[in-house]
A and B are shown apart, each in its own frame.
Chain A
C-alpha cells in the first residue's frame, strides 16, 4: 500500500468509528499527539496524588481516612493504566517519567494549587474529579483502542471519587458556622481553576481541531466546560453554597448556566510554571523517585540472582 492509501484506510476507520490499534498504520502526528496527550494525562494522575496525599494523616475520622486512601491509591492505578497505554505507541515509560521529572512534560495545572484546609479535599473530589469525569467519559470513546480501554476502566472508578468529595462538602456545608465558612472559602478558591481544567477556549486551543478530526477528542473544550457548569451549579445550590461568580445566570431558552469571564492570564501563567506550587510538586516527585532508587536496584539484583540460579 502507498502512503496515500494507508492514510485513506486510516481515515476510513476513524470515520466509521473503528478503533485504531497499536500496530496499525497511523499518521506520525496522530502518534505524537497521542503520546503528548496520554502521557500528560498519566502525569496528572500521578501528580494529582500529592495535594490529597497531603491530608491523609490529618483526615478527621477513620471513615474519611479510608476513603481518601482508597481514592489516592486509585489515582496511582490510573497513572499506571495510562502509562501502559502510552507505551503501546512505542515509547518507553522511563522516558515519559524523565520528562515529567525534568519539567519538559506538562500535567494538569489544577494540581499546582494548594490544599489549605480539610474542606479542600471535599472540593477536589467534587469539582476536580467531577470535571475529570466529564472529560474522561468523552475520552473513553476516543479512536485509539488502548486509550479508550484504559479510560473505560478509569471511569468506573471515578464516581466514588466524586461522591466521597461531595459527601465531605455537604457535611461541612450543613455543619457549624465555622465549617460552612471553611467550605465556602475553599469553594471560592477551587471554582475558577476547575473551569480552566477543560483547557483554553476553542479558538485558542492549538491542538483541538486536529484531535477532533481524528476523534481522539469528540467534544470541544467549551462544550465540556458548559456541561460541567450545568451539572455542578445545581449541586452547589443543593448544599447552599454560593458559586463565586456574580455573572452566573440561568438561561431559560438554552437551559445553560451562563458564567462570567475566565481569567486566562492566570491559566497561562500556571501552565508556564508560575503557579503557587509548580516547583514544590516537581521537587516532591523527584525526591520520592530518588528515594525509591534503592528499592528498584534491589528488585533487579534479586531478579537477576534468581534467574541465574534457575
Chain B
C-alpha cells in the first residue's frame, strides 16, 4: 500500500491584530483540526501568529502567469482611476 502523506493545506498567518493574513506555506493533514494544529507547530513556535487559517490547497483558485497580460491589462489604460489624471487650481492643497 502506498503510504499516505495526507492532503495538502495552505497556511495563512496573521502576525498581529490589524494585520492581514499572509500566506506562510503549507502542511499535510488528514483533517482540518489536525491541519490547524500542524500549522501552529510548524509556523508559530515563537508567537509568530495571533490567528491562523488553513485552506485545502485544491480549493484555491488562482490566476495563471499567462493571464498577466490580458487578465490584468484593462487597468493599464484607465489612468482616470488615478489622482494624477485630475488637475486642481494652482495653490489649492488637497
Contacts and interface: CB of A to CB of B under 8 A. Distances in A.
Question: Do A and B make up one complex?
Answer: yes
A202 interface: no
A25 B6 contact: no
A303 B31 contact: yes
B4 A94 contact: yes
B8 A94 contact: no
Nearest to A290: B3
Chain B interface residue bracket vs A: 20 to 34
A266 to B, nearest CB: 35
Interface string A19-36: 001011100000000000
A247 interface: no
Nearest to B29: A299
B27 A80 contact: yes
B50 interface: no
A94 B25 contact: no
A296 B34 CA distance: 11
A81 B3 contact: no
A89 interface: no
Interface residues of A, number: 33
Interface string A76-115: 0100110011010000111001100000000000000000
Contact of B6 (A153, A293, A300): A300
A234 B8 CA distance: 46
Contact of A85 (B25, B28, B42, B64): B25
Interface centre among A70, A81, A92 (most CB of B within 10 A): A81
Given A87-B8, A150-B25, A302 B31 contact: yes
Contacts of B26: 84, 87
Contact of A77 (B5, B34, B45): B45
A81 B31 contact: no
Interface in A136-159: 146, 149-150, 153, 157
Contacts of B42: 77, 80-81
B2 interface: yes
B3 A293 contact: yes
Interface of B: 2-6, 8, 24-31, 34, 41-42, 45-46, 62, 64-65
11 contacts: A24-B65, A25-B65, A80-B42, A92-B5, A93-B5, A296-B6, A299-B34, A300-B30, A302-B31, A303-B30, A306-B31
Interface of A: 21, 23-25, 70, 73-74, 77, 80-81, 84-85, 87, 92-94, 97-98, 146, 149-150, 153, 157, 289, 293, 296-297, 299-300, 302-303, 306-307
